[in-house]
Chain A
Amino acid sequence: MAQAQEGRQATGRQAPRAAEVFELKSASLSLLALVLRTADLAELGAELRQRLGDTPEVFNQDPLLIDFSQLPQAEPVPADTAEPSGQGQLSLDAQADGVAEIDLPALLALLRGYRMQPVAVVGAGPALLARAQALGLAEAPDLGSGAAVRTEPRGETVVQEVVREVVKEVVVEREVAVPTDAPRTLIVDKPLRSGQQVYAKGGDLVVMALVNHGAEVIADGNIHVYAPLRGKAIAGARGNTEARIFAASMEAELIAIAGIYRTTENPLPDTVLGKPAQIRLEGEKLVMEPLKL
């Protein structure tokens, strides 16, 4: 499910002036984020086993970002990393020491056991970050907390001020930095057979023919299938929680929106199974509704 983009094509040179052994250029990678809500690895392991035990092959060495920013403290923190607030920053800094006890090697082993490939962390306090880096994980810049993570823990009031300033700056940065990808729609009019996979990057996917068992339709935006959908449908692949899945006959074996997924081992409700239907995300819940055509 991850895609790597290159800044520009590398071209071969015919007469090397100085023998170029390699090139460094910018690339970006979209990856899955695992937002931890508990530092208790036993609890995490049990939950993973429950959710993934029957479908251990869901992940295939997918690069993973571990997000520590939501780990609970003595009092629960509003979980909203999308909008950095002064409050959020403070608790982040405070929890830097709280989660220092998390057994990082054990966590990595647990995730790797499910074929996730942790490559970076975000929302980690300085101590945890140092340990993560020692284990070969990169630090992912989180626009909200990046600066706060790097500063040394100081007196509370000082931190508050620093953070407030940083937040202002960051907000500006974010406005500029958001990549504007013109959303494109990918239209597929051949049936998708077992083992075939289509990814509509940066936009919606429209499939005009059958999506068979074992086929995968993936889109950053919405997925529309004007035929039976029997394979895996993964919408909002890069985190777009507004994405929806529409099918003329909903029989998918797995549905996912912005990372929230469900296999149909737990069968789809009768109102939806085999009928025209749409699936959308409401908070953290996948809502399935028949379409009235």
Chain B
Amino acid sequence: MSKIVVVTSGKGGVGKTTTSASFATGLAMRGYKTVVIDFDVGLRNLDLIMGCERRVVYDLINVINDEIKLSQALIKDKQLDKLYILAASQTRDKDALKQEGVERVLDELKAMEFDYIICDSPAGIETGALMAMHYADEALVVTNPEVSSVRDSDRILGMLNSKTKRAIEGKEPVKEHLLITRYNPNRVEGGQMLSLEDIHEILRTPLIGVIPESEVVLQASNQGLPAIHMKGSEVAEAYADVVARFLGEDKPMRFIEAVKPGFFKRLFGGK
């Protein structure tokens, strides 16, 4: 039975696409047939982060408009044969997204026996974001530990339990998971950023993971590799933990303690 997971946030630039890419990759690494769809019509960048921008011929809008078959638009990932990408259109805009069209595409993907369908939502609360979340079974709400991101995430959480198909039809509500990204424990300790407790106080949503702030994310996107591929890095480990928790495993939260550099590190100017 396919599961549709939306990666959303409200606020822009918090790490939705980075997360969609790594999360989908992580699931595929575990052997699940996964597809990740970019709903940011006109401002697509999932394909860049996944490293397949040169192989995008057809996109989500072509499929919605019945111009080509879904199988022609799906791009198979080079590293993992269980992972597929459906890019957004760059030339059209969000008005091209139609609800029946989106429903049809998702039904077709379910018929192709995908285990997980990850929807990378655009920022905001307009058509693109609403379409991406409408058919979701579960949601990853990506939040930075700062006040405007938390406020916007609160708004999005409100919409997840009122504007989605599950909410409208009175079915079991969308399962919400909070993912904190760009977490810097030193800044939290210094009082510059919100702590996990502060965020929980406001959002009251179960935490699925904390991704630490890291330069690795930038390096990864420059290389066109999802961050979870950057073996040994904290970010890759954190995303792997998120996938594990999503699949029901119990993993302690890592990378949330401020680390004072050891004596030698301080001596030789480490961080």
Query: Which A positions have Cβ atoms within 8 angstroms of B?
Result: 190-196, 210, 212-215
Contacts and interface: CB of A to CB of B under 8 A. Distances in A.
B154 interface: yes
Contacts of A190: 161
Nearest to B152: A194
Contacts, number: 27
A210 B154 CA distance: 12
Nearest to B158: A193
A19 to B, nearest CB: 34
A196 B162 contact: yes
A192 B155 CA distance: 10
B158 A210 contact: no
Contacts of B157: 193
B204 A210 contact: yes
Nearest to B157: A193
A8 to B, nearest CB: 27
Interface in B151-188: 151-152, 154-155, 157-159, 161-162
7 interchain residue pairs of minimum CB distance: A193-B158, A194-B154, A194-B155, A195-B155, A193-B154, A196-B158, A193-B157
Contacts of B154: 193-194, 212-214
B57 interface: no
Given A193-B157, A194-B154, A212 B162 contact: no
Given A193-B154, A193-B158, A213-B151, 6 more contacts: A194-B155, A195-B158, A196-B158, A196-B162, A213-B202, A215-B158
| Interface residues of chain B: helix, strand, loop or mixed (majority) | helix
Contacts of B162: 196
Contacts of B204: 191, 210
Contacts of A194: 151-152, 154-155, 158
Nearest to B151: A194
A215 B158 CA distance: 10
| Interface residues of chain A: helix, strand, loop or mixed (majority) | loop
A215 B202 CA distance: 12
A195 B151 CA distance: 10
Nearest to A190: B161
Pick the most buried of A190, A191, A195, A196: most chain B CB atoms within 10 A of its CB.
Answer: A195
B10 to A, nearest CB: 9
Interface in B137-159: 151-152, 154-155, 157-159
Contacts of A191: 204
19 contacts: A190-B161, A192-B158, A193-B154, A193-B155, A193-B157, A193-B158, A194-B151, A194-B158, A195-B155, A195-B158, A195-B159, A196-B158, A210-B204, A212-B154, A213-B151, A213-B154, A214-B151, A214-B154, A215-B158
A196 B154 CA distance: 10
A250 to B, nearest CB: 15
A195 B202 CA distance: 14
A215 B159 CA distance: 12
Contacts of A195: 155, 158-159
Interface in B107-154: 151-152, 154
A247 to B, nearest CB: 16
A196 B162 CA distance: 9
A215 B151 CA distance: 11
Contacts of A215: 158
B202 A212 contact: yes
Nearest to A213: B151
A194 B161 CA distance: 12
Nearest to A227: B204
Contacts of A213: 151, 154, 202
Pick the most buried of B154, B161, B202, B204: most chain A CB atoms within 10 A of its CB.
Answer: B154
A195 B158 CA distance: 8
B204 to A, nearest CB: 6
Contacts of B155: 193-195, 214
A214 B204 CA distance: 16
B94 to A, nearest CB: 20
